[in-house]
Amino acid sequence: MKIHFDTIPDEGLPVSGRLAPSVFDLTPDDAIKPAHDAHYDVTLYKFSETIRIEGTLKGGFDLQCGLCLKYLPYEANFPRWNSEYEFDEGESGFDLHEVLREDFLMALPQAPQCEELGQSNCPKRALLTSIQEKAELEDVDDSPEPDERWDALDGLK
Ligand SMILES: [Zn+2]
């Protein structure tokens, strides 16, 4: 969605709308899947070389747990979101949806795990924890026996 800089008044330009899942341009096996249209309600302000964008972003996504690879629903809600688009002299406008898309992807949890996605137990984490605990127990078993030769010397005193 192209916004021409000329259309942004000094007091700011309110813009709201939706980003269809296809806007995110992700492959089906990506760790992020837009579940439905995302919403934005923002105001654009123009400065000498920058467009400042302030407002709210909301969207439903299915995010993949980095451990067990299960997809879990995540409601993204950024109520005080802001961003900037820097432009060169020759530019007359910019693609708002492109900026919003990038910011959404940046703001979502990166490589989240079940717990961050509201799931109490990641099946893979339980497995990892039990392996770890087992390794720690084995470490204890491997610790060297206390050296008893000094005890024998003590006995000679
Ligand atoms: Zn998981």
Q: Mapped to the 3 state alphabet, what secondary structure does 101-128 carry? A: HHHHHHHCCCCCCHHHHCCCCCHHHHHH
> In which band, very low, low, confident or very high, does the pLDDT at 145 lie, cut at 50, 70 and 90?
low
29 CA → ligand 1 middle, Å: 16
> Whole-prediction pTM value?
0.76
CA of 40 to the centre of ligand 1 (A): 29
Residues of the chain with pLDDT > 90, as a percent, come to 68
**Residue 145, CA atoms < 13 Å, CB-side half-sphere:** 4
For the cut 90, the answer to whether the pLDDT of residue 39 exceeds it is: yes
CA of 128 from ligand 1 middle (Å) equals 11
Read off the pLDDT band of 28 (50, 70, 90): confident
